[in-house]
Amino acid sequence: MRKIIAITGATGFIGTKLALAHVAVGDKVKILSRRNRVDIALPDSVQCIQGGLQDLAALASFVSDVDVLYHCAGEIRDEVKMHSLHVDGTANLIAAARGKIGRWVQLSSVGTYGAQRDGVVTERTELNPRGIYEITKLASDQLVIEASLENAFEQVILRPSNVYGSTMSNQSLFSLIGMVKRGWFFYLGKAGASANYIHVDNVVKALQLCGLSANAKDQIYNLSDYRTLEQFINLIAVGLNVPAPTWRLPEWLLRLPARWMSKLPKFPLTEARVDALTTCSIYATEKIERELGYRHLVSMEAGLVELVEAYKANQNDKK
């Protein structure tokens, strides 16, 4: 049956693919965007409501007669804007959506669990966000849950780990590929650190399951794929046809400088980056697999092949 779908953040990395996935199955899609319609690379069948999360008139039109609303809008760079978008914007959207939509699907982040150094992180793990992005995303989640408890709408929260794909604007993984290619990459600390990533196509599939499955009502799901850091880097090296890195330094050697100097402008080494290279935690996906029948569409092996090929193409374009 054709659904009416509304998506915030639909011109972003994940939202664009989500909109196209719903168009492909014949759903009616509405998006909220400040951009002019002619500047949005989506089919003409997609209805664009021009405005932002502070525009109450636009929000009223956006949520009208909607079956599933996906809240994918997010600010990942400018900390000054995060509270306004994630908290105030969500509150405005909730006020407009009360009694007007069937289900709200919230795109959140495993960052709401905080810096987990080891072990298995499940949906029952204590929430302990550390950065402004993670704190404001959790505040947004809590607003949605509270509204659902007041019978404003059904809700589902999806918390993916690091989302990647060839069209992502975040350049961190492309920079990592460049380091491996140049022979500059080295490991920190003991072997067996975790690489927790999830391909964007898998996130889109999970979002759709959250939006359409009866079992998903009022649930929270984690989403991630996992390889050891050694496996992850070796896959990149194979794709580049270069030797796999073998250098390894003790963690303490870089953690102390990172702690002392990370506040300096443009200093490349931060504690967060040291954490990312040494964490041994993984994010369990058993719940979404068991309750919604979720399975990865794109394996990490296939996803990294795609990413390395995109890196090569980009390098060729620069020549």
Q: Give 130-173 as a DSSP string.
A: -SHHHHHHHHHHHHHHHHHHTTS-EEEEEEESEEE-TT-S--HH
Q: How far apart, in whole angstroms, are the C-alpha atoms of residue 188 and residue 85?
A: 36
Q: Are 198 and 223 in contact (CB under 8 A)?
A: yes
Q: Can you tell me whether residue 304 is helix, strand or coil?
A: helix
* pLDDT at 293 (0 to 100): 97
* pLDDT at 66 (0 to 100): 96
Two tokens, residue 244? 């796999």
* pLDDT at 198 (0 to 100): 98
* pLDDT at 130 (0 to 100): 87
Output phi, psi for 169, to 5 deg: -80, -30
Angle 13-24/200-212 helices, nearest 10 degrees? Answer: 60
* pLDDT at 317 (0 to 100): 65
Q: Are 83 and 143 in contact (CB under 8 A)?
A: no
Neighbouring C-alpha atoms within 13 Å toward the C-beta of 78? 6
Task: Give the distance, in angstroms, between the CA of residue 144 and the centroid of all CA atoms in the same chain.
Answer: 18
- Among 256, 228, 258, 257, residue whose Cα is nearest residue 244: 228
Output phi, psi for 135, to 5 deg: -65, -45
- Among 224, 214, 229, residue whose Cα is nearest residue 286: 224
Q: Are 110 and 78 in contact (CB under 8 A)?
A: no
Residues of the chain with pLDDT under 50: none
Measured at the CA of 102, the angle between CA 12 and CA 21, to 5 degrees, comes to: 35
* pLDDT at 254 (0 to 100): 82
* pLDDT at 287 (0 to 100): 98
* pLDDT at 129 (0 to 100): 93
List, in sequence order, the alpha helices (H) in 247-285: 251-261, 271-278
Look-up: residue for tokens 């809700």?
A: 155
* pLDDT at 110 (0 to 100): 96
* pLDDT at 261 (0 to 100): 67
DSSP state letters, 198-230? EEHHHHHHHHHHHHH-GGGTTEEEEE-EEEEHH
